[in-house]
Amino acid sequence: MSTNRSIDLSEAWHERAKRVIPGGVSSPVRAFAAVGGTPRYFVRGKGSRIFDIDGNEYIDLVGSWGPMIVGHAHPTVVERVLESAAKSSSFGAPGPNEVLLAEEINRRVPAAERVRFVSSGTEAVMTAVRLARAATGRDVIVKFAGCYHGHSDALLVQAGSGVITLGLPNSPGVTKGQAQDTVVLPYNDQAAIKELFAARGHEIAAVLTEAVPANMGVVPPLAGFNSFLAETCKQNGSLLILDEVMTGFRVSQGGWWGSVEATESWTPDLLTFGKVIGGGYPVAAVAGRAAIMDQLAPLGAVYQAGTLSGNPVATAAGLATLELCDANLYQTLDKRAAEVAQAVSSALSASGVAHQVQNAGNLFSIFFHEAPVVNFENAQRQDTKAFAAFFHSMLNSGVSLPPSAFEAWFVSGAHTDRDIEEISAAAQLAAKASAATQR
């Protein structure tokens, strides 16, 4: 892969974008603020590869942040989308595709007794929080520092991902009143949970957590942490909201809870899904116990609505994607993720760059940090300059990584042996560039 890459057209388009779009982007991390340089403008993808507007080819380890789990432009997904779009892109009315997708989610995750579709993960979590408050008659929501649950006002308090990348511990425009009922605790800290519930358990409507945090980098829950949260909520009449927007159907056929922790005999009250269930289209969902979910209008008094929710084209893409997510695919994903992580780790070790590989199945990230990361405070200590040098070297070698040290990496079922070989070669150069920043 050549390192002599012209990005003239990407630069021109980005300058043009900045005149009409804030920062030139529709989501902050895309702006390359954390790593410097010009974001690439991608125009085409096929399998494991993506192509920018200048004609440069890259191995994709972003995968649209998870949804492209079967690869770009998979023929089955494309066929279903075209078939549905030919009939109309939207009706604003019920349709079979949303029913079929809800049934598939329920089949894979029995705790999802009812499913309500929305268009983004932010909407899904916002709705779950509203439901929890209505069901319990309480106001306080507990979240964890570094976990990101979308950009609704009450949850932009010590969030992860783009908020960390931009150095914003909160967001202007969020009033004290909107955030006063959100309590933020350190992740993986059972003692902090016990102390809070002892003092304010009667006020707490729900504990909200990512099934595996992946917006401060991948930080798996310590053994028993999620089950502890579930039991604590149950004892105190609170609800547990498990955010599986990232992990849902990415790490296994049943997501994190459905396949990894369901054997521990605990069940979340509400779950949120996104990313994979849309196959690259804007689909997300809130799901959970029927007794809670049926409080949504029109059955109950908790209002939620969306003109494009359950869109027929988007749900067709999601259903086609999920149907391709079988046991063989997950075996491939686990294998490829391990191969990429090993290639990068070996290169960094050979160049003397301190790092940690952390994963939840095939969801993984590389922390440029000398010790294991168990919470947000640990994650913030990593060497972001070393990561930025690594990122740009990889990009110049034709490997597209998330443009932030605080993001998960993604493989797809389309990645090949050749991709792994090229990633390994690129990583050896990038590790040297990273090491140079530490001298």
What percent of the chain stands above pLDDT 90? 88
Confidence label for 258 from pLDDT (cuts 50, 70 and 90): confident
Same domain flag for 57 and 128: no
Rounded mean pLDDT, 430-437 = 97
What pLDDT is recorded for position 161? 45
**pLDDT band at residue 164 under the 50/70/90 scheme:** very low
Which of 9-13, 59-63, 182-186, 269-273 has the least mean pLDDT? 182-186
Is residue 358 very low, low, confident or very high in pLDDT (cuts 50, 70, 90)? Answer: very high
In a domain, 66, yes or no: no
Q: How far apart are CA 102 and CA 314, in angstroms?
A: 13
Of the residues 148, 187, 281, 330, only one is catalytic, namely 148
Q: Is residue 72 part of a domain?
A: no
pLDDT confidence bin for 168, thresholds 50/70/90: very low
In this predicted structure, the answer to whether residue 407 has a pLDDT above a threshold of 90 is yes
Cα 326 to its chain centre, rounded Å, is 20
Say yes or no to pLDDT of 10 above 80.
Answer: yes
Q: Determine the Cα–Cα distance for residues 169 and 125; give it in Å rounded to an integer.
A: 20
Please indicate whether residue 275 is annotated as part of the active site: yes
Whether residue 144 sits in one domain with residue 39: no
The predicted model gives 206-214 an average pLDDT of 97
**Residue 240's CATH number:** 3.40.640.10
For the stretch 221-250, pLDDT in tens is 999 999 999 999 999 999 999 999 999 999
Is 202 within a domain?
yes
- Helix, strand, coil % over all residues of the chain, rounded to 5: 45, 15, 40
Is 90 exceeded by the pLDDT of residue 420? yes
Task: Give the H or E element holding residue 436.
Answer: helix 417-436
Percent of the chain, pLDDT > 70?
Answer: 95
Helices (H), 252-408: 255-256, 290-293, 312-324, 327-350, 376-379, 384-396
* 237 & 345 share domain: no
Contact 254, 211 (CB under 8 A): no
189 lies in some domain: yes
Mean pLDDT computed over 69-75: 98
| Distance (Å, whole) CA 94 – CA 430 | 50
Position 298 in a domain: yes
Q: Is 96 exposed, middle or buried (0-12, 13-18, 19+ CB in 10 A)?
A: exposed
Structure tokens at 261: 């922790």
- Average pLDDT, stretch 398-409? 97
Whether 70 is in a domain gets the answer: no
C-alpha 270: how far from chain center: 17
**What pLDDT does residue 351 have?**
98
Which stretch of 140-154, 299-313, 397-411 has the lowest confidence by average pLDDT? 140-154
- Token couple for 129: 């929080």
Whether residues 318 and 348 share a domain: the answer is no
What tens digit of pLDDT does each residue of 87-125 get? 999 999 999 999 999 999 999 999 999 999 999 999 999
Question: Does residue 219 sit within a domain?
Answer: yes
**Amino acid type, 370:** E
**Comparing C-alpha atoms, which of 343, 332, 336 is closest to residue 423?**
343
Q: Domain containing 386 — which CATH number?
A: 3.90.1150.10
Q: Which runs of E-coded beta strand occur in 77-235?
A: 114-118, 140-144, 182-185, 204-210
Q: Are residues 367 and 258 in the same domain?
A: no
In terms of residue numbers, what domain contains 380?
Answer: 8-61+326-436
Domain end call among 324, 355, 387: 324
Gap between the Cα atoms of 146 and 168, Å rounded: 12
Q: For residue 157, what pLDDT band results from cuts at 50, 70 and 90? A: low
Q: Annotated catalytic, 243?
A: yes
Confidence at residue 4, expressed as pLDDT on a 0 to 100 scale: 65
Q: Which residue, of 305, 324, 343, is where some domain finishes?
A: 324
Strand ordering across the sheet containing 182-185? 114-118, 284-288, 270-273, 239-244, 204-210, 140-144, 182-185
Residue 170: what pLDDT? 58
Predicted local distance difference test score (pLDDT) of residue 370: 92
372 vs 2, more confident: 372
Contact between 244 and 211 (Cβ < 8 Å): yes
Q: Are 299 and 198 members of one domain?
A: yes
Cis peptide before 298 (omega within 30 of 0): yes
Q: Give the domain-ending residue among 294, 324, 354.
A: 324
| pLDDT for residue 136 | 98
pLDDT the model gives residue 179: 72
Do 265 and 184 lie in one domain? The reply is yes
Same domain for 135 and 283, yes or no, is yes
**pLDDT score of 167:** 40
Q: What are phi and psi of 52, to 5 degrees?
A: -90, 175
Question: Which of the two residues, 303 and 263, has the higher pLDDT score?
Answer: 303
pLDDT band per the 50, 70, 90 thresholds, residue 412: very high
Same-domain status, 293 and 337: no
Considering the domain architecture, whether residues 349 and 241 belong to the same structural domain is answered as no
Whole-model pTM: value is 0.94
**Do 159 and 280 share a domain, yes or no?**
yes
Number of domains in the chain: 2
Quick check: is 37 in a domain? yes
Residue of 58, 60, 143, 243 with catalytic role: 243
419 is catalytic: no
390 pLDDT band, cuts 50/70/90, is very high
Question: Mean pLDDT, the chain, as a whole number?
Answer: 93
User: pLDDT value at position 114?
Assistant: 98
The residue-averaged pLDDT of 288-304 equals 97
State whether 54 and 164 are in the same domain: no
- Higher-confidence residue: 265 or 395? 395
Selecting among 52, 60, 275, 432, the annotated active-site residue is 275
